[in-house]
């Protein structure tokens, strides 16, 4: 089974300026995707596009939609498992959308492709606090908003003021507030199959740069001590099932650290991380995730759900790993 691609309304043209309608962008044919994911797994995409502005992104979507061509969006490639069989259609990588600027005192604007560690350090240099938690998250702003990325007791929902959202069904680009997005743990009201984050504005309090730097350094050091660095990984594998029960604790107590399928293995440093030992395939990874789920369910009667998103061709049995058990 292939995950359904995004589709798009022809109304997008009304939301764009005419200057963008003639924008052109070269595609990379038969593009290997593994290099664009932190797990280093993924087959080829029929075509890969890498827009360099919000306007190019929106115009590209209009063009592909008018042709009836399937398309998918990726950011930094973290929290993502791409099928080793590849992706049929067009993949759009947003990491060229890196604009960052101060809009007003305490308001920091960032385009969807800005990487969170870079954004956190930029904020710190400006004496703006609140992004220290993000220094070790390898994703981009767009994905972080969709997933309400978080660490160290904080998350995007604590600092986001507004986000510019492209509705791929109506073609409308709108500004949505923190309240509009209705953030929850590792999700928000946006439908990743329908909405694309173009940019975001964060409200950050002023603080002494040296104090911000100290907190940032503490978070960086904690990450180095507790998370695998030597092998490719996609970040935390499973969501925490309960406020007082972390997935990492349950997996550790269930004894999964010795699990391995092919070249995919559970990290010996942190049980909620799956690492690629060198030549892991998406099938290796899904088989390992299934074993991890089953082990925790048998020991604790708790079902774990992966944080990661999937892209490309997966079997029904593989995709069942992402479905909540009834």
What amino acid positions are annotated as catalytic residues? 186, 236, 307
For 68, counting Cβ atoms within 10 Å of its Cβ (0-12 exposed, 13-18 middle, 19+ buried), the class is exposed
Name 300's Cβ contacts closer than 8 Å, sequence gap at least 6: 250, 253, 254
What are the structure tokens assigned to 268, written together? 């010996």
Q: Are 137 and 115 in contact (CB under 8 A)?
A: no
Question: Which residue in this structure is represented by tokens 């940019």?
Answer: 199
What are the structure tokens assigned to 149, written together? 């990325």
What are the structure tokens assigned to 148, written together? 């309400």
* R_g of the chain computed on alpha carbons: 20
Q: How far apart are the first and last CA of the chain?
A: 22
Report angle CA 199, 202, 205 to the nearest 5 degrees.
165
User: 91: helix, coil or strand?
Assistant: strand
Report how far residue 101's alpha carbon sits from residue 323's, in angstroms, rounded to the nearest whole number: 39
Question: Which residue in this structure is represented by tokens 């589709």?
Answer: 7
For 152, counting Cβ atoms within 10 Å of its Cβ (0-12 exposed, 13-18 middle, 19+ buried), the class is middle
Report how far residue 51's alpha carbon sits from residue 250's, in angstroms, rounded to the nearest whole number: 41
Give which of 94, 197, 92 is closest to 144, Cα–Cα.
Answer: 197
- CA–CA distances in Å: residue 264 to residues 98, 177, 267, 279, 309: 32, 40, 9, 8, 17
CA atoms within 13 A on the CB side of 298: 9
């Amino acid at each position: 089974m292939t995950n359904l691609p995004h589709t798009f309304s022809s109304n997008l043209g009304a939301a764009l300026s005419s200057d963008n309608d003639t924008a052109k962008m070269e595609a990379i044919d038969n593009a290997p995707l593994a290099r664009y994911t932190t797990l280093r797994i993924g087959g080829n995409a029929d075509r890969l596009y890498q827009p360099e502005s919000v306007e190019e992104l929106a115009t590209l979507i209009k063009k592909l939609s008018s042709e009836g061509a399937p398309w998918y969006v990726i950011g930094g490639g973290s929290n993502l498992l791409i099928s080793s069989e590849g992706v049929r259609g067009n993949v759009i990588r947003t990491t060229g959308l890196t604009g960052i600027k101060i809009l007003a005192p305490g308001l920091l604007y960032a385009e969807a492709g800005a990487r969170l560690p870079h954004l956190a350090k930029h904020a710190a240099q400006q004496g703006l606090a609140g992004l220290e938690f993000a220094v070790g998250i390898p994703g981009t702003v767009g994905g972080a908003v969709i997933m309400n990325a978080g660490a160290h007791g904080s998350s995007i929902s604590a600092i986001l003021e507004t986000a510019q959202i492209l509705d791929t069904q109506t073609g409308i680009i709108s500004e949505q507030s923190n309240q509009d997005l209705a953030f929850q743990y590792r999700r928000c009201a946006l439908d990743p199959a329908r909405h694309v984050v173009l940019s975001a504005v964060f409200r950050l309090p002023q603080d002494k740069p040296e104090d911000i730097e100290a907190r940032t350094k503490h978070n960086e050091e904690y990450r180095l001590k507790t998370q695998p660095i030597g092998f490719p990984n996609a970040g935390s594998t499973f969501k925490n099932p309960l406020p007082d029960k972390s997935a990492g604790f349950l997996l550790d107590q269930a004894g999964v650290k010795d699990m391995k399928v092919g070249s995919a293995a559970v990290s010996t440093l942190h049980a909620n991380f799956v690492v690629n030992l060198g030549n892991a395939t998406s099938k290796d990874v899904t088989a390992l995730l299934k074993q991890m789920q089953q082990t925790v369910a048998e020991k604790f009667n708790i079902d774990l759900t992966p944080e990661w998103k999937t892209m490309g061709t997966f079997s029904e049995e593989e995709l069942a790993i992402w479905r909540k058990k009834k």
